[in-house]
Amino acid sequence: MSDASVAEALRSDVQRVVVEAPAGTGKTHQAASYARDATTGLGKGQRVLILAHTHSACDVFSSRTADLEGRLRIGTIDSLVAMIAKVYHRALDLPADIHAWSIDRGPDSYADLAQRVQLLLVRSPSVAGAVAERHPIVICDEHQDASSDQHTIVETLAQASAKVRFFGDPMQAIFNTGLERETQELQWRELAVTANAFERLDTAHRWASGSPSLGAWVLEQREHLRTGGRVDLRHRLPIGLHLLRADNRAPRFGGFQLSPAERRPLDALVRNSPNLLVLTAHNQTVFGLNAFWGTRIPIWEGYTRSALGDLLAACRIRSGDPVGLGRSMCIFLEAIGKGFSATSFGNRLTQELETNCVRPCRGKPAEIQSVARLIIRQPSHIGVGEAIDRVHHLMNASEHFREARVDLRKEFAEARRIHSHPDISTVLAGLSHQRGRRTDRVPSQSISTIHKSKGLECDGAILIPCDANSLAPNQKNRCLLYVALSRSCKRLALVVPEGNPSPLFQL
């Protein structure tokens, strides 16, 4: 199938078109170009709707269609769900402030919200009709990641006369496991069969100005992985692909250490790669690699970060409870940095909060007591924000906090500002607005999990470590490996151990 046949199918009059789009094959170009053409036929007040699953994807679409503002709406599918829920909150038995409700409910809130909204749309076709009238053309990005409820929501819009264009790649389904994953795989297969038209992109555009042979190799390995095979590293490697053999000698999970001889070529790659993503499978290894390079390469925290949301939810629930607020703050600090364990910080803070800071002390206990006093004085998000700001001051000024460090710097910086307004609902709204603007930019060099790199592109990437512990032979890891292989357009390095290489590689 050609780029031309895909473009023709998208612009046809049929209701539902499905495009299977491997990474780097021009999906965003096709979708953005179609959206641009589709806006010319819109009526008054109508907009083309682009639904993505990540803020990074929204960011890319926004950059490609900046001149169409007013005729185009770009957002995550969660944002569409929240918008409908806000308008019909009474019918859904929900408060008007959906964002605050979702913070209080925690990470499962949007799944609950999607279920409620899909039931509303199924039972009340007029609601789906109103959305379809406003958005007569809907473009769904990365639809292989859609839950069954999210998929039903989009299907109700198609049934209400909206033209829907589904883009997806089952080989990039990396967010679910078990039954939920099997359900999504079946959902994609059924969608491909029942759609009015099915097309597939197959040209490696991402690598055209970098290493075309690397792009062709990546698409070839995608097929190997899709059909149960392995990534073939036995023969002549394409231009831009480097294979480094190095064994991680760190004694604990997540740590990373190499011998000086094995480290030298890796450091040389980093020095010679001004635009670089260092990719790894696990969060703990991200922190280990950050320490391995002496924190010189920052961590990419992603467009969606949960630690601060969890803290704010705790501040709402535990307002007036200094001990509960202090424990929640300790959980936050442990999630975003080092040096805030129970023995080094948390236990003493809890003790001071429980005893109302009545006992005089010196040294580090006195400094922790100064943090606790702020929470006791104002047992709300205000006191917690001031306490976190005090921790920041101690990290810069006190020898007792010299070993403490912050790995997730943006999350920490945002937490230091939560006491800026007395109303926590205003703080939540401000945080939502700031993150919704998608102003974060990936550093020129950064360390990331493969999950958070999805949707990103770079000149160079290093996948490390390619061992059996990180990439065990299952279908999810096949997809995870493919996503990692397809991020860079010029140079890709695979750090594979001699001792326990991943079975997904043929060496």
Query: Are the C-beta atoms of 312 and 105 separated by less than 8 Å?
Result: no
Q: Of the candidates 135, 244, 225, which has an alpha carbon nearest to the alpha carbon of residue 483?
A: 225
237-246, 304-313, 322-331: segment of lowest average pLDDT: 304-313
pLDDT (tens digit, 9 = 90+) per residue, 384-394? 999 999 999 99
Residue 301 has pLDDT above 80, yes or no: no
Tell me what pLDDT residue 434 has.
Answer: 59
Amino acid 155 reads E
| Rounded-to-integer distance, Cα 285 and Cα 307, Å | 18
Confidence of residue 432 (pLDDT cuts 50, 70, 90): low
Q: Taking residues 47-62, what's their average pLDDT? A: 86
Tell me what pLDDT residue 433 has.
Answer: 58
Q: Taking residues 50-63, what's their average pLDDT? A: 84
Helix axes 475-485, 212-226, angle to 10 degrees: 180
pLDDT (tens digit, 9 = 90+) per residue, 415-424? 999 998 888 8
Residue 72 has pLDDT above 60, yes or no: yes
Burial (CB < 10 A; 0-12, 13-18, 19+), residue 387, is buried
Q: Identify the CATH number of the domain defined by range 1-203.
A: 3.40.50.300
Tell me what pLDDT residue 136 has.
Answer: 97
Query: Are the C-beta atoms of 125 and 36 separated by less than 8 Å?
Result: no
Identify which has the larger pLDDT, 367 or 312. 367
pLDDT (tens digit, 9 = 90+) per residue, 479-489? 999 999 999 99
Confidence of residue 410 (pLDDT cuts 50, 70, 90): confident
In the 3-class helix/strand/coil scheme, how is 245-297 assigned residue by residue? Answer: ECCCCCCCCCCCCCCHHHHHHHHHHHHCCCCEEEEECCHHHHHHHHHHCCCCC
Helix (H) or strand (E) holding 139: strand 137-140
Q: Taking residues 110-132, what's their average pLDDT? A: 95
Q: Of the candidates 295, 285, 258, which has an alpha carbon nearest to the alpha carbon of residue 448?
A: 285
Q: Which residue has the tokens 């490697």?
A: 237
Tell me what pLDDT residue 280 has.
Answer: 97
The CATH T-level fold of domain 207-302+441-496 is Rossmann fold (3.40.50)
Mark residue 178 as left, alpha or beta (left: phi above 0; alpha: psi -120 to 50; beta: remaining).
left
Q: Taking residues 9-32, what's their average pLDDT? A: 96
Tell me what pLDDT residue 132 has.
Answer: 96
| Rounded-to-integer distance, Cα 464 and Cα 477, Å | 14
Q: Which residue has the tokens 């279908």?
A: 475
62-76, 162-176, 361-375, 459-473: segment of lowest average pLDDT: 62-76
Tokens of 82: 């929240």
136-145, 227-236, 296-305: segment of lowest average pLDDT: 296-305
Q: Which residue has the tokens 């994807």?
A: 57
Q: Of the candidates 86, 73, 87, 78, which has an alpha carbon nearest to the alpha carbon of residue 45?
A: 73
Q: Per-domain residue ranges for the chain?
A: 1-203, 207-302+441-496, 306-435
Question: Positive or negative, the Cα torsion across 104, 108, 112, 115?
Answer: positive
Query: Are the C-beta atoms of 491 and 460 separated by less than 8 Å?
Result: yes
**Mean pLDDT, the chain, integer:** 92
Tell me what pLDDT residue 101 has.
Answer: 82
Helix (H, G, I), strand (E, B) or coil at 425: helix
pLDDT (tens digit, 9 = 90+) per residue, 262-285? 999 999 999 999 999 999 999 899
488-496 and 458-463 as β-strands: parallel, antiparallel, unpaired?
A: parallel
CA angle (244, 250, 252) in 5-degree steps: 135
Residue 437 has pLDDT above 60, yes or no: no
Residue 455 has pLDDT above 90, yes or no: no
Tell me what pLDDT residue 104 has.
Answer: 73
Q: Taking residues 86-92, what's their average pLDDT? A: 94
Tell me what pLDDT residue 173 has.
Answer: 92
Task: Encode burial over 127-137: b for 16+ CB neighbours within 10 A, e otherwise.
Answer: bbbebbeebbb
Residue 286 has pLDDT above 60, yes or no: yes
Q: Of the candidates 289, 298, 321, which has an alpha carbon nearest to the alpha carbon of residue 412?
A: 298
Tell me what pLDDT residue 304 has.
Answer: 59
Domains 1-203 and 207-302+441-496 in one fold: yes
Cβ-proximal residues to 303 (8 Å cutoff; 6+ apart), any chain: 54, 55, 56, 59, 435, 438, 440
Tell me what pLDDT residue 435 has.
Answer: 53
In angstroms, the Cα distances linking 18 to 2, 60, 166, 196, 197 are 14, 21, 5, 8, 6
Residue 346 has pLDDT above 90, yes or no: yes
Helix (H, G, I), strand (E, B) or coil at 339: coil
State the pTM of this model: 0.82
Tokens of 150: 């999210």
Q: Which residues in 327-426 belong to E strands, given as ranges?
A: 337-338, 405-406
Tokens of 264: 């030298």
Residue 313 has pLDDT above 90, yes or no: no
Amino acid 117 reads V
Radius of gyration of the chain, Cα coordinates, nearest whole angstrom? 25
**Partners of 164 in the beta sheet?**
16, 138
Q: Which residues in 33-83 belong to E strands, given as ranges?
A: 48-52, 72-76
- How many helices (H) and strands (E) the chain has is answered by 21, 15
| Rounded-to-integer distance, Cα 65 and Cα 32, Å | 7
